[in-house]
Amino acid sequence: MAADPHKLVELLKRSGRLNNPLYEEAFARVHRHLFLPEFAPDRVYIDEAIVTKLDKSGYAVSSSSQPSMMIQMFEQMGLAPGMNVLEIGTGSGYNAALMQHIVSKAPGGRVTTVEIDNDLARRAERALHRAGYASVLVVEDDGAAGYSPRAAYDRILVTAGLWDLSAAWVRQLKSNGVLVAPVQVDGFQASGAFRFDADGALVSTQNLPCRFVYMRGIGAPPELTRRVGSSDMRLIGEAQRQLDTARIHSLLSDDPQLESQLVEAILSDDFWSKFAPYAILNPPADAVVTLYYIDESVRAYGMEGTGVALFTPGSACFVPDDTMGRAYNFGGADAFLMVSALVQQWREAGRPGVRQLNLRFVPAGSPPPEGVHVLPRVEHDLHAWFTP
């Protein structure tokens, strides 16, 4: 297959993801294969993220984002000619080239991109020169510092899972600017478009489901995954830190598993973009809700796959994302009854999900309004709530 960016453009247009003529021109003119030379063209010109670097444990630490996700983030930014843009996380450099093509259509448009990884920064810089976008400034540094010499920025785009807002970004963003970032909200991510409100907090009411590699360096999140015993099951999210995994291992090993049926099956798309975020942010009293993951092609405690888990002091209930409406119960019915009530509560609220989510970064310790879930960070608290 020849390297033809128009094939990707047509694919994105047919799917309804690419409607802006300015963005369409950028995807047609910027050749993705120049930034991913180690991959065959038939792998490059499709609508998929491509992992570009793994750590020593085999986990992805950098990737070229899915093109349709790039478009959605450009739309969240309101990316337009003449803007001064800061990107945190250069990766392959492809995203920076697309943005440079767009902003350079008017005077003053420029892109600065910061990459913590020396190898990735140098490779991206070479690729940008090959592709004809040498005007993009590649800065090798921890992205949490931003880049003050070119501030203030109309737009800041973060392309790695964000734990907390950097104070440097807040200072370097114009008062009417927009910061778009994939925010780690407990066990899931949401791409938010943050603007200053009247109190100086950064608020996003326009959020999209997403999945990005985590930030590295100062802005890296704490460990969000923990193994249960010596099994192949992992619990994911902030709430897993409240759990005694040795006790859970005993419960799942010693008590017989019971399979029950929920009131309704949850469609797979709704499961991850709607039900799972709602369940995580609305845990019942005296219960802990996390995500769970069992390694592919294996079983743990008679289960497999991924889903949502709810734990009480003496019981556990696992809801897989298999659309069958099943639930696996251990240690009594308490956890299952809570899950059933949570599904009913979500349904009565109109099945809200990430697109109905509101996010607000406020100074740490700020009193939250009623009905707001508080996620403590380093310099801020993250307030999260759903619009019914």
- The whole-number pLDDT of residue 304 equals 92
Q: Inform me whether the pLDDT recorded for 145 exceeds 80.
A: yes
Does 15 share its domain with 148? Answer: yes
Of the three residues 163, 198, 219, the one that is the final residue of a domain is 219
User: The domain that contains 44 carries what CATH number?
Assistant: 3.40.50.150
**Considering its fold, how many domains does the chain have in total?**
2
pLDDT in tens, 253-275: 987 788 888 877 888 889 999 99
Does 198 share its domain with 250? Answer: no
Does 241 share its domain with 215? Answer: no
Provide the residue range defining the domain that includes 322: 225-348
Distance CA 201, CA 173 (A): 13
Which residues, at least 6 apart from 51, have a Cβ–Cβ distance to it below 8 Å? 60, 62, 63
- The whole-number pLDDT of residue 2 equals 62
Does 281 share its domain with 201? Answer: no
pLDDT in tens, 162-195: 999 999 999 999 999 999 999 999 999 999 999 9
Which residues, at least 6 apart from 186, have a Cβ–Cβ distance to it below 8 Å? 237, 238, 239, 280, 281, 375
- The whole-number pLDDT of residue 152 equals 96
Does 10 share its domain with 90? Answer: yes
Two structure tokens written together for 347: 């349904």
Instruction: Please check whether residue 370 lies inside any domain of the structure.
Output: no
pLDDT tier, 42 (very low <50, low <70, confident <90, very high otherwise)? confident
Distance CA 191, CA 355 (A): 10
Note the pTM of the prediction, 2 decimals: 0.93
Of the three residues 186, 219, 252, the one that is the final residue of a domain is 219
Instruction: Please check whether residue 207 lies inside any domain of the structure.
Output: yes
Bridge pairing between strands 173-185 and 202-204? unpaired
pLDDT in tens, 315-372: 999 999 987 888 999 998 999 999 999 999 999 999 999 999 999 999 999 988 888 9
Does 180 share its domain with 64? Answer: yes
pLDDT in tens, 198-235: 999 999 999 999 999 999 999 999 999 999 999 999 99
For the chain, strand residue ranges (E) read 50-54, 60-64, 84-88, 110-115, 137-140, 153-158, 173-185, 188-196, 202-204, 207-210, 225-227, 233-236, 258-261, 288-294, 306-311, 316-320, 326-330, 357-363, 373-376, 380-386
Q: Which residue has the higher pLDDT, 41 or 249?
A: 249
Of the three residues 198, 219, 240, the one that is the final residue of a domain is 219
Does 330 share its domain with 214? Answer: no
For the chain, the distance separating the N- and C-terminal CA atoms, rounded to the nearest angstrom, is 47
- The whole-number pLDDT of residue 108 equals 95
Does 212 share its domain with 243? Answer: no
- The whole-number pLDDT of residue 267 equals 84
Distance CA 40, CA 200 (A): 47
Which has the minimum average pLDDT: 96-100, 111-115, 217-221? 217-221
- The whole-number pLDDT of residue 169 equals 97
Does 95 share its domain with 203? Answer: yes
Active-site amino acid positions: 62
Does 200 share its domain with 266? Answer: no
Instruction: Please check whether residue 361 lies inside any domain of the structure.
Output: no
Does 182 share its domain with 308? Answer: no
Instruction: Please check whether residue 377 lies inside any domain of the structure.
Output: no
Two structure tokens written together for 207: 């959020």
pLDDT average, residue stretch 10-24: 95
Does 215 share its domain with 232? Answer: no
pLDDT average, residue stretch 277-306: 94
Instruction: Please check whether residue 62 lies inside any domain of the structure.
Output: yes
Instruction: Please check whether residue 358 lies inside any domain of the structure.
Output: no
pLDDT average, residue stretch 68-94: 97
- The whole-number pLDDT of residue 53 equals 80
- The whole-number pLDDT of residue 195 equals 98
Instruction: Please check whether residue 374 lies inside any domain of the structure.
Output: no
Q: Inform me whether the pLDDT recorded for 1 exceeds 60.
A: no
Instruction: Please check whether residue 214 lies inside any domain of the structure.
Output: yes
